[in-house]
Amino acid sequence: MLRTTFWRLGTAVPSVVGVIIVTFLLTRVLPGDPAIYFAGPVASAQAIADIRRQLGLDQPLWAQFLRYVGDLVHGNLGISLNTGQPVLAEIATRLPASAELTLCGLLLAVAIAVPLGVLAALRQDSWIDHLCRVVTTAGVSLPVFFTGLLAVYVFYYVLGWAPAPLGRLDSFLSEPPRATGFFLIDALLARDGEVFFAALGQLVLPALTLAVFALAPLARITRAAMLTALASEFVRTARAAGLGARTVVFTYAFRNALLPLLTTIGMVFSFLLGANVLVEKVFAWPGIGSYAVEALIASDFAPVQGFVLTMAILYILLNLLIDLLYGLVDPRMRAA
C-alpha cells in the first residue's frame, strides 16, 4: 500500500509542474492588466508604469516565472492585490467552505443515486426504472446555476422554507470556534445546537443544487454496472447454489459494481469543484470558487494561480484515494 502511494505521488510530480507552467503563462496572456485595473481609469501613464514596476510586471517573463517558482518553494503563493492578504491564508480560510459544500452535495447525491440505480437494475422497465431515467435526464439537462436560482425562488421566495441565500451563516449568529473550518463539525464540537442547525439550513439548498448535478452520472453508472454484474456467470452460479437474494445482490453483484462507481465518484467530485464556482455566486457562499472569480475579473494573478494549483493538488490526492480504495474493494488491484 505504501509503495503504491509513493509511486502515485511520484508520477503526479510532472502533472503539478505542468499545471504551474501552464497557469503562469495563461494568466499572462489573458486580456487585462492588473496595473491599469488598480491604478484606476483616470491614472496617468507614469502612475501605471510605477504600479507595474512595484508588481514586477516590467520584468521579462522568464524572470517573473523564476521569482514565482522561488516563492512556491518557500510556500508563498503571493499577495492578493484585491484584498492585500496572502493568497495562502485566504485559500486556507475559504477552502473548508467549498469542501464542506462539495462533500455534502456529493454525499447527498450518492445517498440518492446508488439505491436508485440498484433498484432500477433489479426492476427493469418498472416505475422506479423510469424514475431513474427521468432523474438522470433532468440532472444532465438542467444547468447548475439554473437549478440553484430555481431552488432559491421556490424554497425561499415562494414557500419561505429556506433561509436567505446569503452565505454560510445568518448575520445575527457568530461563527463557531474554528477547529476544522467545517461549520457543521465545529458547531458540534462546540456543542452549539443553534449554530449547527443555522449552518445546516444555509447548506441545504446549495448542497441540493450540487446533488442534482451529480445524480445523473452516479445513477446511470450504478444501474449499468449492476446490470453487467447481475448478468455475469458468478452471479448465476451463486443463485444456482441457493444463496439468498440479498447475499447475491450485495455480496456479489454490488461489490463488483463498486469499481466503476468509485471511478465515477472521483470524476463527479472533480466536476463538482468546478460547478462550485457558479453555486457559490448564486448563494453568496464565501468559498474558493467565488474568490477565484473575483480575482480573475480584477486580473489578480496570484489568487488565480493559487486556486488552479490547489485544485490540481486536490485532484491528484483524490485520484490517489480512489486508487487506494480499489485495493480495499478488490484485493486483486493491490498487485497492479
Is residue 63 situated within a structural domain?
no
Is residue 69 situated within a structural domain?
no
Domain count within the chain: 1
Cell for 16?
A: 503539478
Percent of the chain with pLDDT over 90: 0
| Of residues 137 and 104, more confidently modeled | 104
pLDDT recorded at residue 233 = 80
pLDDT tens-place string over residues 80-93: 877 778 888 888 88
Is residue 205 situated within a structural domain?
yes
pLDDT recorded at residue 121 = 83
Match 446511470 to its residue by C-alpha cell.
Answer: 220
pLDDT tens-place string over residues 97-113: 888 888 888 899 889 88
Residue 191 domain boundaries: 97-335
Is residue 15 situated within a structural domain?
no
Q: Which residues contact 91 (CB under 8 A, 6 or more apart)?
A: 77, 288, 291, 303, 306, 307, 310
Count of CB atoms situated within 10 Å of the CB of 84:
7
Is residue 307 situated within a structural domain?
yes
User: Which CATH number fits the domain that encloses residue 163?
Assistant: 1.10.3720.10
Q: Which residues contact 127 (CB under 8 A, 6 or more apart)?
A: none
Mean pLDDT of the residues in the chain: 80
pLDDT recorded at residue 4 = 63
Is residue 224 situated within a structural domain?
yes
How confident is residue 289, by pLDDT bands cut at 50, 70 and 90? confident
Is residue 62 situated within a structural domain?
no
| 86 DSSP 8-state letter | B
The alpha carbon of 285 is separated from its chain's Cα centroid by a whole number of angstroms, namely 14
Is residue 176 situated within a structural domain?
yes
pLDDT recorded at residue 37 = 66
- 95, 181 contact by CB (below 8 A): yes
